[in-house]
Amino acid sequence: MTSSAPASTLDLTKYLNPEQVAAARHGEGPQLVIAGAGSGKTRVITYRIAWLVEELDVSPDEITAVTFTNKAAAEMRERVEDLLGLFPLPTFVGTFHRWALIALRRYGERVGLRRDFAILDSDDQVKLVGQALAAEGLSESAFRPRSVLAAISAAKNRLLGPEEFVAQADNYFARKVAGVYRRYQGLLKGASGVDFDDMIALAVRLLRDEEEVRERLRRRAHWLLVDEYQDTNHAQLALIRGLAGAEGNQTAVGDEDQGIYRWRGAELDNILRFEDTFPSATVRKLERNYRSTQNILDASGGLIAHNEGRRGKRLWTDRGAGEPVELFKAADEGDEARWIVDTFQSQRSDRQLSEMAILVRTNAQTRALEEELLRQEVPYVLVGGTRFYERAEIKDLVAYLRVLRNPRDEISLRRILNQPPRGIGKTTQEQLFGEAAERGQPVWDLLAHDELGSFSARASRALREFRDLVVGLQRAADELPLPALLDRLLEASAYPDLYKKEDPDDLARLENIQEFLSAAQEFTEKTAANAPDDDQLTAFLDHVSLVADIDAWESDRGVSVMTLHSAKGLEFPIVAVAGLEDGVLPHFNAQGTPEDVEEERRLLYVGMTRAEDRLYLSSCRRRRVGGRYQDQADSPFLLEIPAELLRVRQSDQLITYGAASRTASVESFFGRTSRFARRGAGGEQRTFGEEVATSIAADTGRKVRRGSRVRHPSLGEGVVLQLEGEGDQAKYTVFFDRAGKRKLIAKYANLELL
């Protein structure tokens, strides 16, 4: 049972609405707070922490708050520090992976980790999978490393180790991946490394198998707060249960309508079935929105109401109705970009560029938008490009630091052996790693013990010089603070000499190196009180591993251009969502199942609810794909936005619709039948696929083959390129004459065999 909370002398009513107060003052036992977009969930979490400390006299170090991004965690921490006046705050406020990292640095030896383990980034993981594929005798053309890595990641998110994965492998691909998974884990262990999925899984093992550790960690999380609960996966739920237990004092805050990470393992059922996991839970809803106008809320609410996988809510605001949502029908992506940028330009007298954002479904859509922004000389910042810490020159320097901390990190060692070139070519490297594998020794042991007798005199000399370089820098690492160590590293390795000062690209790389030095200096200054010099290198490497691109986003540099996924958690007075076309949003890769379509609908909902004052939507009649134009059909989601809330405009260039006016009704543009779930005229819910005809698989004795000609109700005629699977769940890859390549599921495809 949930106990009642004592009377509070902290007057939360001055800062929170009644529903927020109830959530902040919740007593013992589990609580789920369904927090609609813009409803002030961060405020609830921060005031709950303050209330626990000031009114329940809870020690701050007995509270743990976890979320998904460093940016959200930093904002939360700053707010709590201001409320409590505690600097630094003893409460843990950080990401799941940050929490797991701290636990593993302290107790990782109990689950087989070295204390100096390295954290692999995605590129390192792909390379390791490539090595595992080669060891299994599998070609990368048949088994794409990123696809294999995705399958391994999905298994780890379900807490399936290699042996459990083998037992569940029920098809050819899975059985082959199982062997690669085993090899991959062996290579990880040999490199003293872990990937991000391992961090959560190993933390779960700690809580499950080590009773003493579990009790210590539970004391630090006696009061547990979990942000963005809809984004948790199976492993993270196991972590939460291990920390809190079924009847613990955990408060989960989230919104099922903003669950957009199913593709990376998030399980929406975690929030939809919260009471099944925590039977005594109290559930509260926050429906008052402080961000958007009512028209924006009603438009996005009308859209998301078509999802079945939701608890349901109606957001309201006292900000007034505001302007209608504008929808622009463009001729092509260039026309679309011009209209968006012109629209933003027309409001510059009243608004800053930093108050505007353009959101897209895929990174490929940004090209036309960037070109138009540049043509009109409008400053902008592209979020989600190459991350600073993923740039080649920065990865090289990070690899050097990792080798100094752990010379048995063979992934990093391989990267820097001949970078900059020092006479250790590919043949010498293959010989070195081959001999180490034959002896069952780490490569570093061969170098450290001078076991180089089989190498040529020239290769031996180069390898010894590299070893001496590393050993000398290791000594420096024991004596120097991090910034001085980096200066020594750059000087001793001559790494900057790689880049010519007269080459613009090389100058940019040298600037990045200087920025890296600045990052190290800033990190050292921030952590000086908490991390002694001998721990700074490890702490900095951990920091680099956990930084995300959105953490470095600077909103004051101009118009923000980003994907809908990157926009999660952000807000702007003016937002444009571009590319509302069938195959773009919803994306053609996500048109197979009802769950896929609902996720795409949630993605658009997230984009729409980023807008505070003005929301613009746009679509194209045709779009250039792979160098040639293809006709585009309107997104079926546009049918689901209440027509009375939309002001629709048509481009002067768009003559195919035959409309004489720039303004028209929604119905004049969207008369076709959608293949996706929507409400009928009488309000009944039509489920995905309900209106489709009999699939090809059931056609009268005729079978689909590669090369078959087919017709789709809206995509037109095309040819079947590939078949996967059998029966209703068979997948067809079809190249349509007008719409290009699409992947469809037989049960829902509604194809006619010609």
- The residues annotated with a catalytic role in the active site are 41-42, 227-228, 258, 610
- With a CB cutoff of 8 Å and minimum separation 6, the contacts of 67 are 73, 76, 93, 94, 95, 96, 226, 227, 228
Beta sheet of 63-67, edge-to-edge order = 92-95, 63-67, 223-226, 249-254, 31-35, 282-286
Strand-pair partners of 371: none
Q: Is the dihedral of CA 722, 727, 730, 733 positive or negative?
A: positive
CB-based burial label for 320 (10 Å; 0-12, 13-18, 19+)? exposed
Burial class (CB in 10 A: 0-12, 13-18, 19+), 635: buried
Looking at residue 634, the DSSP 8-state letter turns out to be: B
Q: 208 CB contacts (<8 Å, ≥6 apart)?
A: 214, 242
Residues forming beta bridges with residue 32, ordered by sequence position? 252, 283
Q: Return the closest-CA partner of residue 409 out of 537, 590, 260, 218.
A: 537
Rounded CA-CA distance 449/552 in Å is 43
E strands within 331-450?
A: 356-360, 380-382
Is residue 39 helix, strand or coil? coil
How far apart (Å, rounded) are the C-alpha atoms in residues 664 and 45?
Answer: 45
Question: What is the 3-class SS of 473-495, one letter each residue?
Answer: HHHHHHHCCHHHHHHHHHHHHCH
Question: How much helix, strand and coil, in percent to the nearest 5, is found in the chain?
Answer: 50, 15, 35
Task: Find all residues with CB under 8 Å of 361, minimum gap 6, and list them.
Answer: 563, 564, 579, 584, 585, 587, 603
Give the CA angle between residues 200, 92, 89 to the nearest 5°.
160
For residue 708, which phi and psi values (nearest 5 degrees)?
-65, 140
Please report the sign of the dihedral spanned by the C-alpha atoms of residue 428, residue 433, residue 439, residue 442. positive
Q: What is each CA distance from 526 to 85, 119, 521, 579, in whole angstroms?
A: 18, 22, 9, 42
Compute the distance between CA of residue 291 and CA of residue 462 in angstroms, rounded to an integer: 62
DSSP string, 367-396: HHHHHHHHHTT--EEETTSS-GGGSHHHHH
For residue 439, count CB atoms less than 10 angstroms from its CB and return exposed for 0-12, middle for 13-18, buried for 19 or more: exposed
> Can you spell out the DSSP letters for 236-305?
HHHHHHHHH-TTSEEEEEE-GGG---GGGT--THHHHTHHHHSTT-EEEEE-B-SSS-HHHHHHHHHHHT
Is cis: bond before 573, omega within 30 of 0? Answer: no
Longest dimension (CA), the chain: 85
**Whose CA is closest to 315, among 39, 671, 511, 602?**
39
Backbone angles phi and psi of 527, in degrees to 5: -105, 5
Two structure tokens written together for 8: 């509070």
Q: Is the dihedral of CA 239, 243, 246, 248 positive or negative?
A: negative
d(CA 190, CA 198): 15
Please state, in angstroms and rounded to a whole number, the distance separating the CA atoms of residues 220 and 243: 9
Q: In 158-233, which ranges are continuous DSSP H helix?
A: 162-168, 172-190, 196-209, 211-220
